[in-house]
Amino acid sequence: MSVAAETHLAPVETREELLYLLTRASELEHDLACSYLYAGYSIKMRPDEGGITHDELLAIRGWKQKIAHVAVEEMLHLAQVSNILTAVGGAPHFFRSNFPLPATAFPFGIEITLEPLSHELIERFMCYEMPADEAIPAHLRPLCDDIRRRTTAQIDHDDIARQQNAIEPFDVDFRTIGEFYKKIETAFDTINPDRLFIGDPDDQARPTYLDLPRRLIRVHDAASAHRAVERIIEQGEAPPRHHPDAHFYVFHKIHEEYEQLSQRAKAEGRVFEPFRKMLTDPVTRIIAPSSGLSRITDASSRELAEVFNSVYELMLMMLARFFAHGGETEEQLRLLARGTLRMMASGLRPLGEALARMPAGPNYPGLTAGPPFGITQNVRLLSHRRVAWIFFLERLYDLSTRLTNLATEATLPQEVQEAAAALESVAEHLTPFIPPEFARAVREECRDRGTRTTIRPELDGPYIVRNLRKLTNSKGESLNVRPILALCRCGGSHIKPYCDGTHAQINFCSIKQPGRTPDRLDSYETKEITVLDNRGTCSHFGNCTEHLPQVFHVKGEPFVTPEGAPADQIETIVRQCPSGALGFIKDGVRYEGEQREAEIVVSHNQSYWIRGGIELEGEPRSQGASLEHYALCRCGHSKNKPFCDGSHYDANFNDPDN
C-alpha cells in the first residue's frame, strides 16, 4: 500500500530512523493505554458512591467497559509495533517516561497525564485519536473544530516542531498520530525489503498465545508491515461505518452521552457526578524536585500503590521476555503470555479499582489515590532464560505474599485479595520450570520476608511500620496495630501516636542537623567489664545517671567511671538503656541486646522505644549502636533524626494520652 498521498512527509530511508520511530510509537501506545486505564478507574461503579442515579450508573458502567476495550487495543498496538520492530532488526520496547508528559513530548502537542475522567479530558482523548480532516464525517466537523480550539488553543504547533527538531535525532514533519504512522509506512516502500526485513518471523510473538481483540499480524515483508500499521490507524481513526469501535468514535459517543446526562441532571435540579475524585499524576515517591506530581501520603494507600507499581513492572518484564524469547518451549511461551494477561486482568485491574477508592492522604481531603503506573530503570529485558524465570518466580511470590498480608487489613477493599490470589496462581504455574530446591527456597524466603517487622522513616514524613504485632504506651495499654502503620514523628499529630498528615501542613523536615552530638564510640575498661558508650546515640532518658550515678555522670568528664560499681550492677543498667547508646563487653563477649518479641513502646512525652531487633530500613547506625533496641524521635525536634537525642525536653513535647 503506497502512502505517497502524504506528500509533506519525508520518506524514511534508513533502518536507524525506522527503529527510532517504532520505539517512539511503542512509548506512545503504552502512554495512551495507561492514561485511558487511569481515567476508566475513576468512573464510579456503585450507587452508594453518590452523584448518580441507577440509570446513570448503568450508562457510565458502559463507558468504563468501552474505555477498557480501547486501552486493551492500545496494548494490541504496542504488541503489533513490537513484532514490526523484531521483523526489521530491532527489539521490543516496553519502557516509557513517567507521567505527566508535557505537550512537547510528542509532535501533536497535547500533554498526556494520569487524571480522573472529566468533560475536558474526554475532549483531549478525542483529540489524541482524531482522524485527518478529510476523514471526519461532515456533520462532526464543527464539533471537532470546537474541541480542537478548546484543547489546543494555547499550543503553538510550529514552536513545538522547532523544539522537537532541536532535540530529536531525526526531523519531525508529522503532527497527528495518523501522520506519525503514515511516516513509518514510508520506510516499507523506500527501503529494499530484502534488506529491511532481516528478522526471523519465528522470533516474533505468537498470535495464538495472546487473548487480544484481534490476532497479531506476523510481519515478514512490506505487505504484511503495511497491513499491521493500517490496522493500528484503522482502530484509532477509521470512519464508523467501517469500524464502529474506532477509538475516536468511542470517545465521541461518551462525550455525547456525558453532555446529555449532565443537561438532564441540571434540568432536575441536581449535579451529575459520575467520576471519582482521584489525584492527578499520583506517585509514591518524589525522587527529585518536580511540579505537577501528587505524592500519595496515606500509609496503606501508598503501600498498595507501591505494590501496584511492582506488579506493573514485573508484568512488563515478563511481556518483554515473551516478545524477545530465546530458548523457551511452546508451553513456556504459552505460560508467559497467559501469565502476563492474568496479571493485567486479575492483578492490576483489581488493585487499580482498590486504589481508586482508597484515600490519597490527609493533605488531600476528599481525594482518592489512584494507581500511579510508576516505572523505573529496572524494567529491562532479562536475556537469559533460566535467570529470567527464577527472577519472575521470586518477584511473584514476594508480591503475592505482600498482598496477602495487606489483605488482612480490614479497611482495604476486597479486590486486594483477588490480586493476591492471581499472582499466587501465576507463580504456581511457573514453578514446574524452576529447579525444585530453588523454588522451595524462593517461596520460604519470600514468606519470611513478608512477615518480618520493619520500620521505614519516610522523607519528611511518618514512620512506616510493617507487620508489627505489639504496640504499647507508657500506661501499659495495648494500641491498635495493622499490617502497615504510619506513626507520627513530626510531633504535631492530633491522633498520636498515629500520623494524621500534620507533617505536610507544618513543612516538617527530617534531615539531620549539623549541630548534633558527634558520632563517636568511647570505651571504658576494668578487669571485669568494658563499658561502651556513644553520646551521639543517647536519648538522655536518664535511667543510667539516676540509678547508678557513681558510674554514669550528668556533668564532667569522663561520662563513665566503671570502677564506681560492681560489674553486675553496671550490666543491669546498660541492659535497660532504651537508646542502645550503652553497651558492654564481659568475659570477652560483646552484648548484642535482649531476646524478646518485636515491640514498640510509646514512652511518656518522649521517644518511641524500639525493641526486639526490628529492622530500620534505609538508616545507617551510629558506631556501636544496638541493632536490637533503639529510640526514635517522635517530638520532631531531634538534631539526629530519626533517632531521639533528648530534644523533647527543650521542646516541652506533650502527649497526655500515651
* pLDDT tops 70 at residue 524: yes
What confidence score (pLDDT) does residue 299 get?
85
Query: Quick one: average pLDDT of 524-549?
Result: 94
The C-alpha cell that represents 269 in the structure block: 435540579
* pLDDT tops 70 at residue 287: no
Of the given ranges (567-571, 621-625, 631-635), which has the lowest mean pLDDT?
621-625
Q: How confident is the model at residue 137 (pLDDT cuts 50, 70, 90)?
A: confident
State whether the Cα torsion 341-343-344-345 is positive or negative.
positive
* pLDDT tops 70 at residue 446: no
Give the residue with greater pLDDT, 217 vs 447: 217
State whether the Cα torsion 607-608-613-619 is positive or negative.
negative
Give the residue with greater pLDDT, 156 vs 401: 401
- What string of DSSP letters covers 120-168? HHHHHHHHHHPPPGGGS-GGGHHHHHHHHHHHHTT--HHHHHHHHHHHS
What confidence score (pLDDT) does residue 434 get?
80
Asked if 83 and 217 count as a contact pair (C-beta separation under 8 A), the reply is yes
3-state SS of 294-332?
Answer: EECCCHHHHHHHHHHHHHHHHHHHHHHHHHCCCCCCHHH
Query: What is the domain partition of the chain in residue ranges?
Result: 15-272, 296-451, 470-658
> What is the separation, in whole angstroms, between the first and last Cα of the chain?
76
The H-or-E segment that residue 36 falls in is helix 15-41
Q: How confident is the model at residue 280 (pLDDT cuts 50, 70, 90)?
A: very high
* pLDDT tops 70 at residue 4: no
* pLDDT tops 90 at residue 526: yes
* pLDDT tops 90 at residue 627: yes
Please state, for a pLDDT cut of 70, what percent of the chain lies above it: 94
Cβ partners under 8 Å of residue 19, min gap 6: 85, 88, 89, 90
Return the C-alpha torsion angle 572, 573, 579, 583, nearest 10: -70
Work out the mean pLDDT of the chain and round it to a whole number. 87
Structural fold of domain 296-451: Ferritin (1.20.1260)
pLDDT tens sequence across 562-604: 999 999 999 999 999 999 999 999 999 999 999 999 999 999 9
**Cell 493533605 -> residue:** 363
* pLDDT tops 50 at residue 54: yes
Based on its alpha-carbon atoms, the radius of gyration of the chain, rounded to whole angstroms, reads 30
pLDDT tens sequence across 57-104: 999 989 998 999 899 888 889 989 999 999 999 988 998 888 888 888
What confidence score (pLDDT) does residue 410 get?
57
What confidence score (pLDDT) does residue 2 get?
35
Q: How far apart are CA 79 and CA 85, in angstroms?
A: 10
What confidence score (pLDDT) does residue 324 get?
80
- How far is residue 555 CA from its own chain's centroid? 51
User: Can you name the residues that pair with 243 across neighbouring β-strands?
Assistant: none
- The answer to whether the 15-272 and 296-451 domains have the same CATH topology is yes
* pLDDT tops 80 at residue 509: yes
* pLDDT tops 50 at residue 5: no
User: Can you name the residues that pair with 471 across neighbouring β-strands?
Assistant: 600
* pLDDT tops 50 at residue 231: yes
Q: How far apart are CA 349 and CA 543, in angstroms?
A: 54
Please state, for a pLDDT cut of 90, what percent of the chain lies above it: 49
Query: Quick one: average pLDDT of 309-319?
Result: 93
Give the residue with greater pLDDT, 166 vs 608: 608
Q: How far apart are CA 488 and CA 473, in angstroms?
A: 14
Asked if 462 and 500 count as a contact pair (C-beta separation under 8 A), the reply is no
Q: How confident is the model at residue 238 (pLDDT cuts 50, 70, 90)?
A: low
Cβ partners under 8 Å of residue 574, min gap 6: 531, 544, 582, 583, 584, 591
Asked if 314 and 392 count as a contact pair (C-beta separation under 8 A), the reply is yes
What confidence score (pLDDT) does residue 253 get?
93
The C-alpha cell that represents 136 in the structure block: 471526519
Q: How far apart are CA 585 and CA 571, in angstroms?
A: 9
Ranges 210-219, 322-331, 557-566, most confident: 557-566
The C-alpha cell that represents 407 in the structure block: 489483605
State whether the Cα torsion 374-38-74-98 is positive or negative.
negative
Asked if 88 and 199 count as a contact pair (C-beta separation under 8 A), the reply is yes
Please tell me the CATH superfamily of domain 15-272, with its number.
Ferritin, core subunit, four-helix bundle (1.20.1260.10)
Q: What is the DSSP letter of 347?
A: I
What confidence score (pLDDT) does residue 114 get?
96
* pLDDT tops 60 at residue 275: yes
What confidence score (pLDDT) does residue 452 get?
81
* pLDDT tops 80 at residue 108: no
Give 377: exposed, middle or buried? Use CB within 10 Å, 0-12, 13-18, 19+. exposed
Q: How far apart are CA 258 and CA 444, in angstroms?
A: 51
